[in-house]
Structure 1
Amino acid sequence: MSKPDDVYAGVRAVRDLCDPVSLAEFGWALFRWWKLCGAPAKENWAFTQLGLVGDGETVRRLTPVIRAWPG
């Protein structure tokens, strides 16, 4: 529903209503599931949602993952 340049309006409501740490953990769990499923490019929302619900810990976790990805 959201795109990096066009965020769905409901995202703000979710962020306002949810505990930020729990929401970031949920987002990380979605990302891990996406990776376990082979990280299909057509389902890259599981990656981009990290920018909407993630926190500093998400960044720390994601940094080595990105560095390990091929060029």
Structure 2
Amino acid sequence: MSHQCKGKVRHPTRQGAIIALRRVKNIAMDIYQCPSCKGWHLGRTREASRCADRITQVLDRHAAALAKRMEGRNG
């Protein structure tokens, strides 16, 4: 197993990955064939990844603004 697969569950067949995906019941996940190990993994869909990235950006911006406000009050 390559370093790209570290921490991921490898399913030897597409059908096995589909069964695992149904058990997870997460609509924001999909299966993909790994180019490194040729097995199948579960992962977030591109749409879910973009959404998570956007949420992180917004939260980071709000945290920075809050820290700046708090600094102004304490300084």
Name the one with the larger strand percent.
2
Q: Same fold (TM over 0.5)?
A: no
Name the one with the larger helix percent.
1
Highest relative contact order (Cα 8 Å, sep 6+), 1 or 2? 1
- The TM-score normalised by the length of structure 1 is 0.31
